[in-house]
Amino acid sequence: MLINSPSPLKQTWLRFLPLPWHLALILSLFLQGSSGETATRPDTAAKNDNVLVRDIATVAGVRQNPLIGYGIVVGLHGTGDRQQTFFTVQTLANIMQRMGVQIPAGQVRVNNVAAVFVTAELPAFARPGMQLDITVSSIGDARSLEGGVLMLTALEGPDGQTYAAAQGPLVLGGYSAGSGGNSKQVNHQTVGRVPGGAVVERDTAIDLAKMHVVSFMLRDPDFTESVDVAGAINRSFGREVAIARDSRRIDVDVAQAGMPTVPELISRVQNLAITFHPPAKVVVDERTGTIVMGGDVKLSAVSILHGNLSIDVTTTFAVSQPSPLSKTGTTEVVPETSVNAQESPASQIQLPEGASVEDLVNGLHAAGATARDVVAILQAIKAAGGLRAELEVL
């Protein structure tokens, strides 16, 4: 373009320049235009296909642990457990006995307490003194936990050891107003939370300095992703420090990596980017008719016929009276049943080879198929071998 139609100013310059400078100027202008186009062209494909290791993998052993405890909530306004919940009064009697008050469990008559289960999640590297949010759930016949206070409750792990202690006033996300027929209830009143209501009492932190191998676990097992992550780690360190053990686990040798600390090694690996290959998978929920498609899901050449058969059974009641001047006849109500069957013509949809599930769903919706019809048709296509993806039914 610059050689065929230069501007008048450029023509004057080119006429008086020597031949080597003439060619150098043309080459310089051409390279400037090419470099400008390259710099401004966005590499959208690489941006869309790349994902950080932290988004698809976790560090083995670094996880949360569930905690559970049994306790009572006090201070309720007559909405606690009633007489048929025996373990509540037994728990209250035991607590009173530890405090020096001797009362028979069978003589306790209170409606201001409720037996509850307390649950929490103990995060990784939890230290003594760290606060946790807890969830309190009624296990008796209490009507509401509104205004209640959780008494001191020990929270245990799966091994039976106590890891935290919980206590505090409850916060409910629901309420009830009115009484009898003129009442309104919003959300559950038998489940509440205590923000920061538990204090960690046992050190559960992992000593990372003693780790010789750091294992990264993919959230979704895939051999391709496992090999890609190991390759990205080796390219980043410039030597073979990582190996893909299987479709989920990648081991990194701490000594070979040569990082000052293990946290720095984990941080460097987590921020590496790899090419993400989304799985070809279709998830359907028969209860709600929800369909979620992932990856590039394709179909083989299929032809679908779908129709509906509607059968209506109706019953009407007619009054049967005796004939005139009859002495023995009685008036009776006789049911009359009628059956009406209607079958609508089948809707036909043809899809070419390589069509996507989105094309199928759009075609089915255009034909008047409901969400549940689409779920049934996808299952039939998968059974026929026409769906090139994994089908998961919830």
The per-residue pLDDT for range 292-302, each reduced to its tens digit, is 877 677 777 66
Determine the pLDDT at residue 201.
94
Can you tell me whether residue 4 is helix, strand or coil?
coil
List of residues 6+ apart from 107 with CB closer than 8 A: none
This prediction has a pTM of 0.63
pLDDT top residue among 27 and 62: 62
Structure-token match 């950080």, residue found: 52
Determine the pLDDT at residue 71.
92
Q: What is the C-alpha separation between 89 and 82, in angstroms, rounded?
A: 9
pLDDT top residue among 46 and 50: 50
pLDDT band at 207 (very low <50, low <70, confident <90, very high): confident
Q: How far is CA 254 from CA 12, 236, 258, 387, in A?
A: 66, 14, 7, 44
Map out the domains of the chain as residue ranges.
65-171+187-200, 208-275, 282-393
pLDDT band at 80 (very low <50, low <70, confident <90, very high): confident
pLDDT top residue among 142 and 321: 142
Determine the pLDDT at residue 36.
41
Average pLDDT along the chain: 76
Percent of the chain at pLDDT > 70 equals 67
Determine the pLDDT at residue 8.
42
Q: Is residue 345 pLDDT above 80, yes or no?
A: no
Q: Which residues is 128 bridged to in the sheet?
A: none
Nearest to 116 by CA among 133, 99, 141, 95: 141
Determine the pLDDT at residue 25.
36
Nearest to 213 by CA among 174, 178, 252: 252
Determine the pLDDT at residue 13.
36
Condensed to tens digits (0 to 9), the pLDDT of residues 56-67 reads 999 998 889 999
Condensed to tens digits (0 to 9), the pLDDT of residues 87-101 reads 777 777 777 777 777
Q: Is residue 341 pLDDT above 70, yes or no?
A: no
Q: Is residue 268 pLDDT above 80, yes or no?
A: yes
Average pLDDT over residues 294-315: 63
Q: Is residue 391 pLDDT above 80, yes or no?
A: yes
User: What are φ and ψ of residue 52, in 5° steps?
Assistant: -80, 150
